[in-house]
Amino acid sequence: MRLRKLYVAILHFTLLHLVSAEIFSAITAGIAAAATGLYYSGRCYVGECCHQNHMPADFDRMFTKFDLVLDVCIFVVELKKNLESKMFGQHIAIKTIVNALKHHWSSDHIQKPLTISLHGSPGTGKNYITAFVKKSLYSKGVDSKFVHHWVGRIHFRLEEEVTKYQNNLYSWIKGNVTMCGRQLFIFDEVDKMPAKILDIIKPMIDYNERVEGVDYRQSIFIFISNTGSAAIVDTYLDFWKNGNRREGIKLKDFEKIITQGAFNEAGGFYRSDTIKSNLIDHYIPFLPMELEHVRMCIVQEFNIRNVTPSEHQIQNVLEYIEWGPNPENVFSKTGCKRLSQKVAVISAAGDEY
């Protein structure tokens, strides 16, 4: 009897000891994790760091530095692959943007922030491509705190508030870049913003090593607008009428008209210093969408819903599309915009539609 009691006691003791060792190591691990967490939140501020773990682009730059991967930025390869399979009919945009990003964050000699201006009619993919850029630059993608997306008609609506908007913009951009140089600033609907707002950012996107002690050169600015789209359509239509293949048209066929268009049409770049002083690195035309591209968008929308569409279903969606300009009527007036709602209805209805 005694012996058994002793035995139980020993067992208890051992168990207790084991358990407490477990608890002890758990506590230690906890403290370590908390300490690491504190260290990171101190350094990184709310869970996202200005450093390679959260910036795939930066990580790949490290690789290239050590010559492990020659001239290959994985994030750029990934982005290119994604765009080529998911974006239709915009070979100029894909090529220019991919190359510009690749150069900007892998070069040791950048002299100014990267500034890209996207032009084209609605539904040609300007916002679509921007979403891919966000995802490829930051592991948190659209939710990254390094991504800033302002929309003309929402954030800068009132003509009489221009000074306030300018002051806000200046302090936000400055504040964010001070914390981390690798920021992405997107100005959407530039043509719907009161003119002059963007003049405030001119020193920031200029060839300056520092502006009031802040170095802006790592950051990226993307401007999106419909300005110049009529000229883009005209230029491309001429090209098309001469029997050329779409893929044959080059950026240099457009650059001049876009600059003039953005300069002359009303909106955020109207008679702007930014344009006058050539601070935009790339003007990128988005070509009008033809039947074959709209079809591909439609099929993709069905596929997203795990539906392989019948020809009948595709035709049903196509019926909603208006074509222009007269008399050729070969470009979708709304590009691939709002297809998703149409496809949703038709794919839900199945064969009866």
Ligand X SMILES: *[C@@H]1O[C@H](CO)[C@@H](O)[C@H](O)[C@H]1NC(C)=O
CA torsion through residues 149, 153, 156, 162, sign: positive
224/257 with CB nearer ligand X: 224
Q: Does 155 bind ligand X (CB under 6 A)?
A: no
**Which position among 59, 172, 263, 323 is part of the footprint of ligand X (CB under 6 A)?**
172
CA dihedral 170, 174, 175, 179 (to 10 degrees): 160
On the 0-12 / 13-18 / 19+ scale of CB atoms within 10 A, 289 is: buried
Nearest approach in angstroms of CB 177 to ligand X is 9
| Segment contacting ligand X by CB under 6 A, of 39-47, 61-69, 168-176, 203-211 | 168-176
Terminal alpha carbon distance of the chain: 84
User: Which H or E run includes 147?
Assistant: strand 147-151
| Segment contacting ligand X by CB under 6 A, of 27-35, 47-55, 167-175, 226-234 | 167-175
Which distant-in-sequence residues (6+ apart) come within 8 Å of 212 by Cβ? 174
**Which position among 175, 291, 312, 320 is part of the footprint of ligand X (CB under 6 A)?**
175
Identify which of 287, 296, 291 has the alpha carbon closest to the alpha carbon of residue 238.
287
| Segment contacting ligand X by CB under 6 A, of 70-78, 169-177, 197-205, 257-265 | 169-177
**Which position among 148, 155, 246, 342 is part of the footprint of ligand X (CB under 6 A)?**
148
Which distant-in-sequence residues (6+ apart) come within 8 Å of 341 by Cβ? none
Q: Give the interface size with ligand X as a residue count (CB under 6 A).
A: 5
Residues 176-215 that bind ligand X (CB under 6 A): 176
211/344 with CB nearer ligand X: 211
Residue type, 313: Q
146/302 with CB nearer ligand X: 146
Residues binding ligand X (CB under 6 A): 148, 171-172, 175-176
